[in-house]
Amino acid sequence: MIRFENVTKRFGAKTVLDDVSYEIEKGETFVIVGRSGAGKSVSLRHMIRLLTPDAGRIWVDGECISEAGGAELERILGRFGVLFQSAALLQWLNVEDNVCLPLRQKTNLPEDEIRARAAEKLALVGLEGAEQKMPADISGGMRKRVGLARAIVTRPEIILYDEPTSGLDPVISRQIDLLIDDLRRHLGVTSVVVTHDLYSALHIGTRVAMLHEGKFVVCAPPEEFIASRHPVVRDFLQAQGIAGLQDVRKAFGK
C-alpha cells in the first residue's frame, strides 16, 4: 500500500535515510523503532509529503506521493489520518471543534452529522463529556486521544502515529496501544507507528522494523524480531528488559 523505493534523505552532511526500500501491506500495523535521531519520524513525514526525498520515490497504492502536487496530492493525503507527537491540536478550539475541524473545512456535511461523527469518535477514544474542554485544560494523554479522534474522524484508510505513547504514563500508554490495535481490528485501517517503546511495538505491530544509521537492519513480525541476533536489536531489547514475547504479554496483562 505504501512503498519506499530507494529513498535517500540528507540533512546537511548527515544521511538520515540511506537508499531505503520497503513496502507496507494493506491492513497491517507496521512499526518503526530505533534510537532517537535514527530517522523514524523523518521516514513517517515522507509518507505524507511533509518531507521530500533527495533521491527515490514513495508510492501510495501506485500513486507517487513524493512527486504529486495540487489536487492529486490533496486526494492522496485525504486517505491519511495522522496523530502527531504533540497531538497538534489548535489551541483556540475546544475538543469538539478540533475533532470537527477536518469535516467542517473539507466536507459539506450538515452540522448535525459533523457533531454526531465527532461524538462517535470521541466516545471511541473514551472522551465522552470532554467536548467543551480546551486543549490547555486537559492532560497529555487526553490530548493524544483527541488527536487520534481527529485523525480518524474522516475515516482514513491509513493512520500514521508519531510516538503515540511518548511522555505518557505506562497506564495511559497501554490504553493508547490497545486503541491502536482496536482500530486495526475493527476498522481494518493500515497503520504505521513510530516509537521507541518496544513493548508497544511488539504488542501492536504485525511487523516491526529497526532503523539504524539510515537503514532498516531488521524488518520482521514480532516473533522473528525478538529472535533476531542483530546486535542493535539485541541491545535495544536488553535495554528495555525484554527477553521474549511473554514479557510483552505480561506488560499488557495477557
Q: Which of 23, 25, 26, 50 binds another protein (CB under 8 A)?
A: 50
Nearer to another protein, 36 or 105 (CB): 105
Q: Should residue 221 be labelled a site residue for another protein when binding is judged by CB under 8 A?
A: no
Site string for another protein, 106-135 (x = CB under 8 A): x-----------------------------
Query: Phi and psi of 252, rounded to 5°?
Result: -100, 10
Edge-to-edge strands, sheet with 80-83: 80-83, 158-162, 190-194, 29-34, 207-212, 215-220
Nearest in space to 120 (alpha carbons), one of 154, 78, 88, 82: 154
Q: Should residue 159 be labelled a site residue for another protein when binding is judged by CB under 8 A?
A: no
Nearest in space to 119 (alpha carbons), one of 157, 80, 153, 154: 153
> At a CB cut-off of 8 Å and minimum separation 6, what does 137 contact?
none
Q: Should residue 105 be labelled a site residue for another protein when binding is judged by CB under 8 A?
A: yes
CB of 48 to another protein, least distance (A): 5
Q: Which of 6, 11, 132, 234 binds another protein (CB under 8 A)?
A: 11
- Asked if residues 248 and 199 have their Cβ atoms less than 8 Å apart, the reply is yes
Q: Should residue 89 be labelled a site residue for another protein when binding is judged by CB under 8 A?
A: yes
Region from 75-83, 125-133, 167-175, 190-198 binding another protein, contact rule CB under 8 A: 75-83
Q: Should residue 155 be labelled a site residue for another protein when binding is judged by CB under 8 A?
A: no
- Asked if residues 120 and 187 have their Cβ atoms less than 8 Å apart, the reply is no
Taking residue 44's Cβ as centre, other Cβ atoms within 10 Å add up to 22
Count of residues engaged in binding another protein, rule: CB under 8 A: 27
Edge-to-edge strands, sheet with 55-60: 14-24, 2-11, 55-60, 63-64
CB of 236 to another protein, least distance (A): 26
Binding site for another protein (CB under 8 A): 11-13, 48-52, 73-74, 77-78, 80, 82, 84-86, 88-91, 101-102, 104-106, 154
